[in-house]
Structure 1
Amino acid sequence: MKTYHQKASEIERDWYVVDATDEVLGRLSTQIATLLRGKHKPTYTPSNDGGDFVVVVNCEKIKIMGKKADQKVYYRHSGYPGGIKATPYKMMLAKHPDRILRTAVKGMLPKNRMGRRLLSKLRIYAGPDHPHAAQQPKPWKPPYATKKAV
């Protein structure tokens, strides 16, 4: 029996809308990364981009477990000497809640051209509204039992 390899002409992309209200950041981001890669499909091929588009709403209501809300820090660097910037989780959640989820999902994707292409299929919105109604996105509820965040 031959190994199946998906061709570019056989790829079918769906749109999913994910509600991030009271979801745990790490658990939700693994599900989103799976949808973007296409690992939930039987036609998954590691070297092809066979994943779906994902629209995330209400990302300002995402939760994290334990003391991470006080301890977690996001770093970025300008490229110049002494150019490191640190932003605490609470400040990032107040100013840019979409960056929290985008950073978590980006860390779970391949670190190459395909990973950057996959990340472009992720649309994140802080509130409950999104402009992708014309694509008729299907609602996606993660298959695991939701663990209550503290």
Structure 2
Amino acid sequence: MVRELQWKPNATVAAVVERDGEFLLVEEHTEAGVRLNQPAGHWEHGESILDAVRRETLEETGYHFEPTALLGVYVSPRPDSEVVYLRFAFVGQITGHDSQRALDAGIIAARWLSRDAALADPARLRSPMVSRCIEDYLSGQRYPLDLIRAVPAG
């Protein structure tokens, strides 16, 4: 019997950070033009999911991020392909900033924006997950990090 290829969603992480009423977002070049997103990216083989969100936040913003809660798990199909993103969004705190750090390719800048400024033009957002994460954050949604269990192989 021949097994068909197994479908696998793209597992990503995102950091939702609020400071003094403003959210940390990245302004980035995309195939669709310049867009806003939370610091986010792919979870890489061999790293923990918490290390992934720490790494992505640092690479895209220069800020050191420490997750304190799981905001939610979001499933979002890309409208122009068969790609589906499975986003693990985390709430946390900034613990430092490396202002001299070069940001990832494609990142224009890290921006601190109010909810209203960030969501003023939905077409400027990388995906609907950006606004959903901000709204879920503002509603007080939080889940403990120990909800995530790493189970060793074997």
Give the shorter-chain TM-score range. Answer: under 0.3
Q: Hey, which of these two has a bigger chunk of helix by percent?
A: 1
Taking structure 2 as the reference length, the TM-score comes to 0.27
Select the structure of larger CA radius of gyration.
Answer: 1
Taking structure 1 as the reference length, the TM-score comes to 0.27
- Higher relative contact order (Cα pairs below 8 Å, separated by 6+ residues): 1
Q: Hey, which of these two has a bigger chunk of strand by percent?
A: 2
